[in-house]
Amino acid sequence: MFNQATILITGGTGSFGHTFIPMLLARYDPKKVIIFSRDEMKQWEMAKKFHDDPRVRFFIGDVRDRDRLYRALDGVDYVVHAAATKIVPTAEYNPFECVKTNVMGAMNLVDACIDKGVKKLVALSTDKASSPVNLYGATKLTSDKLFVAGNHYASHTHTRFAVVRYGNVMGSRGSVIPFFMSLRDKGVLPITDERMTRFMISLEEGVELVWHAFEDMEGGEIYVKKIPSMKVTDLARVVAPGAKHEIVGIRPGEKLHEQMISAEDSYCTYEYAEHFKILPQINFWDKDANRIKDGKKVVEGFIYSSDNNSEWMSDSELKHWLDAHKNIGNF
């Protein structure tokens, strides 16, 4: 699919982009990969890693800027939407800015992709978009709905939109593992709540889910990968075996457990070997055989959350991952 194609990734200088782009270049032979983001210093630093690859291009811009998106999408075949204001406390204290990026930015992308003839877009979502309790989650749920509905607006064109949703990304900037790693030598780790659990997915697994969505999508699907859970206290114990735990309380807008599929979603959710798929109810697309494929309908009331998960990451599995990634820049 991506051979000799032009791919643009919004927010491409983030943790996902740093994993997605090398994997893309290694597996496929794209004509061009465009990193679209607003931070010139991050682009400058990232460009050093790809200075000898003419396929990699950098484009300063913001998803809030509709006109700039139209220019950036000239000749683009596929888009990965990774740009977002995503730190929960930041969104709580700066709600207008979060809405501008996560909601208005999504609206701009839907319009620009349709008008510029983009073939497919896959947007990155979050567990916080399922039954949201904070502003970040509410804006990402809105963003998900916008991309799903974008397929209705694009019905007279070849442009299609889909979403991938996953929880805590191991090693991504701002996530719990690098945070604990940065504090382990101090001997004390702050724990918000001893009961807290989190889903665990690697950046590489996130990239694979995006690729699967591009290959499988008809338009409007939300893909949720099956991944293991882990208690935050166990995670802290593995990262820093000798450190004490200090209970500090849940931050504003933070959830005790991550949830990726709600009971309300269960009415239109199908299960597959390695993932779930939430189908849109508009236009009766949740009954469409081309979207369902070989999926099995989940039971009514099914909830996929990190505390009721059937799969849990062991200490040895986490230690193996930490050993394999101990030298990456995020740590």
Asked if the structure places residue 1 within a domain, the reply is no
Asked if the structure places residue 253 within a domain, the reply is no
Asked if the structure places residue 323 within a domain, the reply is no
Asked if the structure places residue 325 within a domain, the reply is no
Residue 329: per-residue pLDDT? 43
- DSSP helix, strand, coil percent of the chain (3-state; round to 5): 40, 20, 40
Residue 177: per-residue pLDDT? 87
Asked if the structure places residue 67 within a domain, the reply is yes
Asked if the structure places residue 51 within a domain, the reply is yes
Tens-level pLDDT at each residue, the chain (331 residues): 899 999 999 999 999 999 999 999 999 999 999 999 999 999 999 999 999 899 999 999 999 999 999 999 999 999 999 999 998 889 999 999 999 999 999 999 999 999 999 999 999 999 999 999 999 999 999 999 999 999 999 999 999 999 999 887 887 777 788 888 888 888 899 999 999 999 999 999 999 999 999 999 999 999 999 999 999 999 999 998 989 999 999 877 788 999 999 999 999 999 999 999 999 988 899 999 999 999 999 999 999 999 999 999 999 999 988 888 765 444 3
Are 8 and 76 spatial neighbours (Cβ–Cβ below 8 Å)?
A: yes
Residue whose C-alpha is closest to residue 74's, from 130, 118, 136, 22: 118
Q: Between the CA of residue 256 and those of 128, 140, 181, 190, 266, what are the distances in Å?
A: 11, 19, 21, 15, 21
Asked if the structure places residue 174 within a domain, the reply is no
Instruction: Name, in order, each residue with C-beta under 8 angstroms of 83's C-beta and a sequence gap of 6 or more.
Output: 10, 11, 14, 36, 37, 63, 101, 105
The residue segments making up the domain with residue 143 are 6-167+201-226+259-305
pTM: 0.94
How many domains is the chain built from? Answer: 1
Q: In CATH, what number is assigned to the domain containing residue 277?
A: 3.40.50.720
Residue 327: per-residue pLDDT? 56
CA-to-CA distance for 169 and 8, rounded, in angstroms? 22
Give the residue numbers marked as catalytic: 128
Residue 171: per-residue pLDDT? 76
Asked if the structure places residue 244 within a domain, the reply is no
Beta strands in 75-153 (DSSP E): 78-81, 120-124
CA-to-CA distance for 141 and 122, rounded, in angstroms? 15
Residue 244: per-residue pLDDT? 92
